[in-house]
Amino acid sequence: MRVARWSLGLVGDLCLTVGALLLMFVVWQLWWTDVTAGRAQAATVHELSRDFAASDPAPGGSTPSSTTSTPATLPEPAVGKAFAVLRVPRFGADWVRPVIEGTGHDVLQRGVGHYRGTAMPGAVGNFAIAGHRTTWGRPFHDIDRLRTGDVVVVETTSAYYVYAVRSHLVVDPTDVRVIAPVPNRPGVGAAKAWLTMTACHPKYSAAHRYVVFAELVHTYPHDAGLPQGTLAAPKAA
């Protein structure tokens, strides 16, 4: 009996220890990764903003500041390089995230990832990006709150690209048609500039993908800035 009681006590202690470790892992996964990733992503945004501002022509320079000029399209960066800043007013006035080339696990820990081979910001085709919905800063946690007409702004060293949300759908994780040059129409030549945002769905699951499609509606050279009100918070959904 004494041995049996000792064995049961040992098993109980082990169960408590395993439970505590699992709880610690959940706290780390769901909370602490958000804290650390959020700080790192904010630092990346700060660095990008500083670099973008430094590349603007000096006041009185020869480069015009006109919304009628056509900013140069960026070349595809190396994997892991941050090259753009994403703002979504629907997610909050202070919501801002870096866009990084690639969609590997290490990239998505650092911000929003750009699908290799899809269009660059502002270019004709499909600028397709992905983000975590939970953990690692969860940039697309509220992707399902986006509504038709909502604004999504992509800032690069040369321009601000303003997209307007057109539609959304839920697909299987293997459905790559959504990132085709014309979303959901593989093999069709693109005539417009699209933005596609993807994230796991539902929250805390990877069973499906929630996808939002937006169309380019305005382009503003970086040194011209955004018109007042562009980033105004939309009406509550």
Identity of residue 27 = V
From the list 114, 200, 201, 222, the catalytic residue is 200
From the list 114, 138, 209, 222, the catalytic residue is 209
Q: Is 90 a catalytic residue?
A: no
Nearest-angstrom CA–CA distance, 14 and 197: 44
Q: Is 132 a catalytic residue?
A: yes
From the list 90, 110, 114, 132, the catalytic residue is 132
Q: Is 138 a catalytic residue?
A: no
How many Cβ atoms from other residues are within 10 Å of residue 78's Cβ?
9
CB 156 within 8 A of CB 81: no
Report the relative pairing of strands 193-201 and 151-155 from DSSP bridges: unpaired
Active site residues: 132, 200, 209
